[in-house]
Amino acid sequence: MTMPMDPRRRRKPGPPDGEPIVFGADEQSAVPVELDVFTRLAEGVLRSEGVRGHSELALYFIDEPTIAELNERFLGGAGPTDVLAFPIDDDIADVGRSPDAGSTGPDRPPVELTDVPLLLGDVLICPSVAARNAAEHGKALRDELALLVVHGTLHILGMDHADADETAVMQAKEQELLAEHFS
């Protein structure tokens, strides 16, 4: 089994100081979500997977129409899904004056790219789809949501499950991280 190349090696580094931060938002009302629990879980996964320095991940809990539209628009999927991950793999753009991205101007010092946090990406989870999946698999919803948080975060970090070997590696990593960071 081969692991995919570590995407953190391809990105420009963020500031050397600081810790990964997860911004969490619950933008749906169908299913209660323990937002603080799941943002801490994602932060733990980032630290365990070697993310260092000031970096940011966004974790959104969204409704079915929104995730269905994103699934269709970006992945060509039909209908709602339980989790989507959108990594930010691009280099940090040069910072300049808005809106033309020109010079920083005489009144501002140049921006050091090491002062800009490393933006990792967005994980979007649909709790109502997760609730159906949990019932179908005889699992607690809380456990299903935790699995989706870990799964989406690992996708942000470059893991995939496109073939059987990758699937086995990713599932083992998910279980390891859940045991370490979720109770």
Using an 8 Å Cβ cutoff, are 177 and 48 in contact?
yes
Weakest mean pLDDT among 30-39, 49-58, 136-145: 49-58
Helices and strands, number each (H, E), in the chain: 5, 4
Residue 8: DSSP 8-state: G
- pLDDT tens digits, residue range 78-134? 999 999 999 986 444 444 444 444 444 445 444 444 555 688 999 999 999 999 999
pLDDT (tens digit per residue) in 137-179: 999 999 999 999 999 999 999 999 999 999 999 999 999 999 9
CA proximity to 19, closest of 155, 36, 45: 45
Cα gap 71→90, rounded to integer Å: 21
Which pTM value belongs to this model? 0.80
Domains within the chain, CATH numbers bracketed: 7-181 (3.40.390.30)
Token digits of residue 124: 């979007």
